[in-house]
Amino acid sequence: MTSTIRSVIRGVGSYLPARVVTNDELAKTVDTSDEWIQQRVGIKERHIAAEGEYTSDLAAAAARAAMDNAGIAIEAIDLIIVATTTPDYTFPSAATLVQMKLGMNHGFAFDIQAVCSGFVYAVATADSYIKNGMARRVLVIGAETFSRLLDWNDRTTCVLFGDGAGAVVMERVDAAPGDPERGVLTSALRSDGRHWDKLYVDGGPSTTGTTGHVHMQGPEVFRHAVGKITDVVYATLEQAGYTVDDLDWFVPHQANKRIIDGAGAKLGLPPEKVVTTVDIHANTSAASVPLALSVAVADGRIKQGDLVMLEAMGGGFTWGASLIRW
């Protein structure tokens, strides 16, 4: 009887910078209000990284928390994948800096760039590396200092984003026939570069030689988001032979409460099955899904045996979903 390789989530962890910026504080420097922000996107506050605190610092802190949660030392990790849009440097990758900061001198490390979908892309990538035998244990991290891409005079974008990091430890398990189902069951990833200019940063090494700022056609992004999210969720469920009714938890990218509510309603999911942290974290891009996951695991909502759907959509456009048996 042959065994099946499964990528099981062994531990989760997160890190949020100490500084919290409320809507009222933002309203002192930009033409906005707490009521306007909450009504449109459902955000109350966000965390902002301190001066001298970099994406790799946030990522390493979240990674340590995830390893502690898993009861696994750095020597047991084979691969580090960091999903980020805001690496410390143009190169090397944030992942190699995290590798150094964690004292890991073996294995390999690299970044993934799929903007807000990055963590879901990274989970699918780690699952592939585990299943093809290249790694047994993988640190998958979503980390951002997105505040450094913002034009703080542009009220349409600066109110939406925050900084933070979340991480999971994924581990190979060889499941014998008849063993209970565990780990990543299936993932579906999508992209469509025709929409690149609906959400982008107007800078880069090859174009301007500068970092640039975020630009977004908000209504256009919203128009595409709900449909694309629901399509990829249905595709993932179908691949695994499940339906929406089988889901215990839906952990979406935390971009905007109206998008989260719209996707949940279109899927027919009761609101109590949807994990929402956008109010306290804002949109942390690639960090948002693992941050939300960490909250729901820590407060006891997500427990072993639960069927959990991760989902995200970001610039590119990129979008994707992963179905996990916890």
Q: Which of 69, 116, 158, 281 is catalytic?
A: 116
Q: Token match 């640039």: residue?
A: 212
Concerning whether 253 is annotated as a catalytic residue, the answer is yes
Contact yes or no for 47/162 (Cβ under 8 A): yes
The C-alpha atoms of residue 187 and residue 73 are separated, in whole angstroms, by 28
Contact yes or no for 14/294 (Cβ under 8 A): yes
Concerning whether 116 is annotated as a catalytic residue, the answer is yes
Q: Which of 213, 253, 256, 281 is catalytic?
A: 253
Q: Token match 């109590």: residue?
A: 272
Phi, psi torsion values for 13, nearest 5 degrees: -155, 165
Mode of pairing for the β-strands spanning 108-112 and 137-145: unpaired
> How many Cα atoms occupy the beta-carbon half-sphere of 193 within 13 Å?
0
- Would you give the distance in Å from CA 91 to the centre of its chain? 22
Where in the sequence numbering do the catalytic residues fall? 116, 253, 283
